Amino acid sequence: MNPIVSKQWLLARQYEPDLVIVDCRFELGRPEAGSTAYDAAHIPGAVYLDLEQDLSAPVTEHGGRHPLPAPDVLAARFARAGIGNATRVVAYDDQGGMYASRLWWLLRWLGHDDVYVMEEGFAAWQAGGYPVTAERRTVVPAAFTPSLRPQLLAGVEDVRRALGDPGVLLVDSRAADRYAGLQEPLDIKAGHIPGAINRFWKQVQGDNGSWKSEGELHEQLAPVITALDEGREAIVYCGSGVSACPNVLALHRLGYTQVKLYAGSWSDWISYPENPIETGGE
């Protein structure tokens, strides 16, 4: 099934007992904004999972700005949110699906496939007259046993080995000016990993926030698809392993399910002073 679902699809199913809706709203630089927005209004029945408190481990010297939690810690957090192995999950945010896609990827990494992202986000849901509430649901904890998929994850050593390897394509998901090193608002060094191509994550969506058609995604991600069709490996990264996830999701939608995420991404790469940096366009 398409990992992107519509507001209408969710409205028709929102009270089904095996479905958990997850509000993933978050704002970089304002870490309390997402939970505050959730407290004010959210989709009825939704639980809230915070990028930094729930979907990331504490920041250390390496691992990037949003390190991956240990699988057992993450599985326990999902279980407390009512997500079990047989649960269907729909995630949403208000930031173009970036944070909802992070949840989608994390669940797939733990072996859970029945997870979807609602397109357009909460503002569109509310503007469309769909129901909202400030009431929190009573969550019944579930049993979640992870079945880890290490093949979906790339670490810094994998990326180092990829440098100069024609069998691996690195894909930078950040905006073009950050890729080129013209500006860097979040990290201490600017530029990109040598040899990476640039495919800005927001370009998988149209101007109205809806995800592009499969044909448009094929065009947007053509170099990546060509590489995968040739049997090459693709490793996708961004600043901290969050905004790369929509590109990974888009490729998954097109049938390319084994794309790797460099979870630490640029903020992890530059934490090693010996790692090379490249600037300029492709």
* Residues taking part in catalysis: 238
Residue 259, C-beta contacts closer than 8 angstroms, at least 6 positions apart: 152, 224, 228, 234, 235, 236, 248, 251, 252
Helix (H) or strand (E) holding 4: strand 4-5
Phi, psi of 241 (to 5 degrees): 85, 15
Q: Strand order of the sheet with strand 115-118?
A: 4-5, 115-118, 88-92, 19-23, 47-48
Task: Name which of 275, 255, 256 is nearest 264 in CA terms.
Answer: 275
**Alpha carbon distance 170, 233 (integer Å):** 9
